[in-house]
């Protein structure tokens, strides 16, 4: 049995790397066959006048966009960040303890004058039900 980390995680992209200037829903990531998940949000330099970007981790049992809801705080280890020029250029990690099948990251709100934030979000699925041998 392989004991390296690579054999026990599976990364999936929810928000592709891009310069974001508006609210956007990330892609749904299927957590089937995994017992754990962690969300990584990576941000670059926020530009514009007083830019602010609010992220949210959402869950659902389906891939229907309207079925996704915010993950309750009790099911998160950490909180989704609000990014401004004071805390940009960072990587944020949030643990997920929920039981829904699908997870995604969204940029919920954007404010400021001509705000732009280069960012991406990965969901690391871990503890596979069937691990490689």
Q: Which pLDDT band, with edges at 50, 70 and 90, does 14 fall under? A: very high
- The pTM of this model reads 0.94
Arithmetic mean of pLDDT, 27-49: 97
pLDDT at residue 2 above 70?
A: no
In tens, the pLDDT along 102-130 reads: 999 999 999 999 999 999 999 999 988 87
Q: Which two tokens stand for residue 60?
A: 């659902």
Quick one: pLDDT at residue 129?
A: 83
- Gap between the terminal Cα atoms of the chain: 4
Quick one: pLDDT at residue 12?
A: 97
Say if residues 15 and 105 touch (Cβ distance below 8 Å).
Answer: yes
Say if residues 80 and 55 touch (Cβ distance below 8 Å).
Answer: yes
Containing 20, the helix (H) or strand (E) segment is strand 9-20
| Domain residue ranges of the chain, discontinuous segments joined by + | 5-128
How many Cβ atoms from other residues are within 10 Å of residue 7's Cβ?
Answer: 13
- Angle (CA) 70-73-77 rounded to 5° is 115
Quick one: pLDDT at residue 83?
A: 98
Quick one: pLDDT at residue 132?
A: 59
In tens, the pLDDT along 57-97 reads: 999 999 999 999 999 999 999 999 999 999 999 999 999 99
The CATH number of the domain covering residues in 5-128 = 2.60.120
């Amino acid at each position: 049995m392989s004991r390296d980390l690579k054999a026990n995680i599976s990364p999936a992209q929810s928000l592709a790397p891009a310069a974001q200037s508006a609210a956007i829903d990330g892609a749904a990531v299927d957590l089937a066959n995994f017992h754990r998940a962690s969300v990584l949000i990576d941000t670059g330099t926020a530009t514009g006048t007083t830019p602010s970007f609010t992220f949210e981790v959402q869950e659902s049992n389906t891939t229907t966009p309207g079925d996704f809801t915010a993950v309750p705080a009790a099911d998160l280890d950490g909180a989704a960040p609000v990014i401004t020029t004071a805390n940009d250029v960072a990587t944020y990690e949030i643990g997920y303890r929920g039981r829904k099948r699908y997870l995604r990251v969204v940029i919920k709100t954007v404010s400021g004058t001509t705000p732009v934030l280069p960012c991406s979000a990965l969901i690391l699925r871990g503890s596979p039900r069937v691990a490689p041998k």
